[in-house]
Chains A and B, each alone.
Chain A
């Protein structure tokens, strides 16, 4: 069997575990899809209390949708290697004749079911309850940008995952910390142009910042974009390639270092 076929089978096997697990624990439908929509609703009501124009409420809904993907990258992919280490599965992955990236790809694809459902619930909430309007003409472009953003984002997730081969609880704590600051710097609930050019330019290294800004411009008709949509799409494509190359390299480096330091099977550290 070719190496590609082998890796695809590994990715599909790892994704399947996620699907089976989701079916075993149906409580997640309630706790991880319906309840988080309430937090998003809370932020919509903040803009309402502030008397902001309705388009700002749409920004929050879009931010809520993208939050689900960021959390999936953080917890379902990056931090997963730490849990696999604790459970004793990581040793098995290391022995298998496959790339670590195929395992991570499987985690991402398998986790997509829950993530997509959470996003859809928030989207329905936005359209049905908060009357969010989309520019129909811009939806195709927005979908393309969404796919580019996701490719770059999951590349970043693979890079982060490599850290968990080496580090223990500390890395997991930083994953916790990576939630709100990323919501803040990526403009999850407001246009990043409001951060000023320098901060917005720095924040653009994070794919969701540019992705959401471009989606706002195409699907929500926002006039407060940071850069033209074409430039943002080009930058996202560049980030996607860069993150995948870096992820590949970092996974090799961190695995090698973790083996030398004897940290691959270290539990409860």
Chain B
């Protein structure tokens, strides 16, 4: 019964998030909107590589890393975005608290909707790279890719939940926080360059980022190699590392949210709006 209720709440959050995301326009315009941003970002990398003479071994892994990276800020920021929109703009977060049970399934539904949207962008980017730019990955391991995606989305969803706990304490413009944290992962996870480029003192930060390992697994599922630093680790070991990060992020997510929510209740922030 509890599982059914939780699933129903996730589904409600998911459906509502889709409506908020997409019902402002017609499906073709929404399609153009969804594809423009990731495509322009990836073409930026393509042009930078072109300007630099397209040295071999860079563009192919960078393109698919960037395609997969679309999911990171979307899922990471999905719950925080839901908090800020529902509390500040639609002023209905308080009603989520009037409903029985925890707010987590409802917020997770929002993050999953953004995950679906970003996954669509990632697939479109991969297809554009393969069929328009001729950037075809040499191999394809669907099982590994599916396992990697499930682990990655779960991990990011719970890290996002911890961020959402913090978002309860930020003003309306707090959504910049999630965008900025996406940028941090772009650098610290060596998403668009190989880890080899980073100075030695910065590499421990890269190893501490779960996204580094997640992107490496995505690349391996497509038979791609980005630099030589990470290639010494076996795929099974990286799966183990990612699994451990996933368990840690689940614990961090529940803890971060619980602390943030408790303090926000005490401070009366659950229905706060900022008018500046």
Contact = CB atoms under 8 A, between A and B. Distances in A.
Interface of A: 17-18, 20-21, 24-25, 27-28, 31-32, 35-36, 38-39, 41-43, 45-52, 56, 75, 83, 86-89, 168-170, 173-174, 176-177, 179-181, 183-184, 188-191, 194-195, 268
Contacts, number: 131
B266 interface: no
B24 A168 contact: yes
B187 A25 contact: no
Most chain B CB inside 10 Å of its own CB: which residue of A56, A87, A174:
A87
Given A31-B180, A42-B186, 20 more contacts: A21-B276, A24-B171, A27-B170, A31-B176, A32-B180, A36-B180, A38-B186, A39-B186, A43-B48, A46-B45, A46-B48, A51-B52, A52-B52, A168-B24, A173-B25, A181-B37, A183-B40, A184-B41, A190-B47, A195-B47
A89 B41 CA distance: 35
A177 B183 contact: no
Contacts of B90: 268
Contacts of A17: 276
Contacts of A181: 36-37, 40
A195 B51 CA distance: 10
Interface of B: 24-25, 33, 36-38, 40-41, 43-45, 47-53, 55, 58, 62, 89-90, 170-174, 176-177, 180-181, 183-184, 186-188, 191-194, 197-198, 273-276
21 contacts: A18-B276, A21-B274, A31-B174, A36-B183, A38-B183, A38-B188, A42-B187, A43-B48, A46-B48, A50-B49, A51-B52, A89-B275, A169-B24, A173-B24, A173-B25, A174-B33, A180-B41, A180-B44, A183-B41, A184-B40, A188-B44
B24 A170 contact: yes
Contact of B171 (A25, A39, A46): A25
Contacts of A189: 44, 48
A177 B180 CA distance: 17
Nearest to B44: A184
Nearest to A22: B276
B192 A42 contact: yes
A189 B184 CA distance: 19
